[in-house]
Amino acid sequence: MIWAQNPNSLLLFTAIIILYCLNPRFSTAQDDNPSNNPCDTFARCGEYGSCNSEESPICTCLPGFNPRNTQEWNSGNWTSGCVRRVPLACEGQNGTTNGSRGDGFLGLDMMKLTNYSDRWSGPEDQCEGRCLRNCACLAYGYDDTGVGCMFWTGPLLDFEKFPGISGSELYIRVAGSELSELVPKKKSHKITIIVVIVAVVVVSIGLYFCWRLVVKIRGKRRMRNENLVTGQSESVQYHGQDAIRVNLEDFPLFTFDVLQNATQNFSEANKLGKGGFGPVYKGELENGRTIAVKRLSKASGQGIQEFMNEVMLISKLQHRNLVRLFGCCIENKETMLIYEYMPNKSLDFFLFDQSQEILDWRKRLNIIKGICRGLLYLHRDSRLKIIHRDLKPSNILLDNNWNPKISDFGMARIYGTKQDHVSTLRVVGTYGYMAPEYAMEGRFSEKSDVFSFGVLVLEIATGRRNTSFNNDEGSMNLLGHVWKQWNEDNVAVLIDPRISSPIYRREIVRCMHIGLLCVQELPKDRPSVSSVLSMLNSETVELSEPKQSAFSVKYTSRTDIGTSSSQQSQKSSSSLNNVTISVVHGR
């Protein structure tokens, strides 16, 4: 739109419109050559006629008057002039005031005031009353150059309306009944002009400020994106010669001040927890919505690549078992993600902390099925086929009804529908939940997530972490311990004592059986997520005998690929957020 591109032209156009409405003709009061003005002829339009050289025809009757001879008038012969339509109330009373009460005056703009009969040097506001008291006075005007009030008492002759902006106001005496018809029309015309002018000005100003607002908003968004791209945020990481380029214009952006106020300046009282990425705070926005703010730590291994990966992936995913991402913040060298608030925190908080509320088996089974439905959506039903790569209890959030929500998509990857697997040169993930082919060879696929899900199922059934075993227990981890008891037909002894009711024992053992099928060493032996969901939903689905679980044999060498010995001593639930380079292999 031309006005949005150049606001100065919009203002200039508005000024022209205003001048045009107020003065449609920019001519002078009199023609430079008086001899060429047809109105210079005395009484050209006869009695009670007005001449205007710029109009056609040049002669018109004064308001309240009609042509004396209509046929002559229409033929261009105006000498016979005009006659009054309605007689004056005091006409013929020779100056008495009683009859003058029904008369009034109608103002005409830009008139030539000549040939007046009398004048009076009194103030202008008394001219009308002085003329009204004299029935012989048919018109009056005022000249502030020293003449004062001017009065016309005989037939009104030789009136001329100037086409320019000069001239004076002439007031014609008319009957009171004529005023009710003539004055409103004139006022209505003026009001219309004023309304048009005001409307044009208001619309023009509105368009101008709207344009400025749009430019301002776009400028702020562009500045935020440029800061992210050019490295003005300390969270930006460069890989080789290319910077990570992102576009956040279509994603909700929160300001740092809004989040600071919502979390009470990121107070310890509002702190929900802390992971390898940084702390998470509870916050409340001005509209009453409760949120969870993940504030990425500068010291964490999770950089801008993982941040943008989560923003772009989870913003396109919608499922009841996936956590909702409301927006993000990139400001003041801060990088934050804003999620829906989960009142019951994460699964590991209740599963492994003996002091917390006990999760009964009905809740645990609902959590297992919800996680499986979320994975099925990621692998098969969403527009993007996604491999999560970091499925673990701390990344399973629980809402007010204990429904599970898969979170933390920082290391998730889009997976081609025709790909058998994807290989990476560096492995990222969490010790104890990585599939063997991924930990040893850097190959991940849907079956990698199935393996992590199997570990989750066994942890939920037993109430123990996969990495909580020591040398005294004779097993490398939970997988080896369950596999050993399975072969001895004694797996029921591993059920979490808090849920070891005989009523659910058979159902729990069946879930542990499904978990063992998911953690088999070879990817081809593991079931798909859709098959797992069918096994969970129907007891009539026959389960095959599981093969040996991965990592079920005790090793003395390092088993966590991508970590050092010092990293193995750290908390087992932390993620290894290393940058990966992906290589695609065809089927």
* Residues catalogued as catalytic: 390
In 296-394, at which residue ranges do the beta strands (DSSP E only) sit?
A: 325-331, 334-340, 386-387
**Cβ-based neighbour number of residue 43 at 10 Å:** 17
Other beta carbons within 10 angstroms of residue 565's beta carbon come to: 8
CA-to-CA distance for 529 and 511, rounded, in angstroms? 14
Q: Which residues contact 401 (CB under 8 A, 6 or more apart)?
A: none
- Give dist(CA 388, CA 397) in Å, integer: 15
**DSSP codes joined into one string, 451-509:** HHHHHHHHHHHH---TT---GGGT-SSHHHHHHHHHHTT-GGGGS-GGG--TTTHHHHH
Compute the distance between CA of residue 368 and CA of residue 542 in angstroms, rounded to an integer: 19
Q: What is the CA radius of gyration of the chain?
A: 46
Nearest to 175 by CA among 138, 133, 203: 138
Dihedral, CA of residue 64, residue 69, residue 71 and residue 76, to nearest 10: -80
Phi and psi for 73 in degrees, rounded to 5?
-60, -45
Asked if 444 contacts 411 with a C-beta cutoff of 8 angstroms, the reply is: no
- C-beta of residue 306 within 8 angstroms of C-beta of residue 379: no
d(CA 451, CA 454): 5
Is 245 in contact with 262 (CB distance < 8 Å)?
A: no
Tokens read off for 255: 């300001």
HSE, side-chain direction, 13 A CA sphere, residue 475:
19
The answer to whether 424 and 439 have CB atoms below 8 angstroms apart is: no
Helix, strand, coil shares, percent, the chain, to 5: 40, 20, 45
- 542's CB contacts (< 8 A; 6+ apart) are none
Supply 6's token pair.
């150049």
Q: 510 and 537 in contact (C-beta within 8 Å)?
A: no
Task: Return the closest-CA partner of residue 145 out of 130, 172, 166, 131.
Answer: 166
Are the C-beta atoms of 549 and 520 separated by less than 8 Å? yes
Q: How far apart are CA 236 and CA 227, in angstroms?
A: 9
Euclidean distance between CA atoms 137 and 172, whole angstroms: 9
CB–CB of 496/462 below 8 Å? yes
Phi and psi, residue 570, nearest 5°: -75, 175
CB 297 within 8 A of CB 275: no
Cβ 120 vs Cβ 127: under 8 Å? yes
Interatomic CA distance for residues 208 and 210, integer angstroms = 5
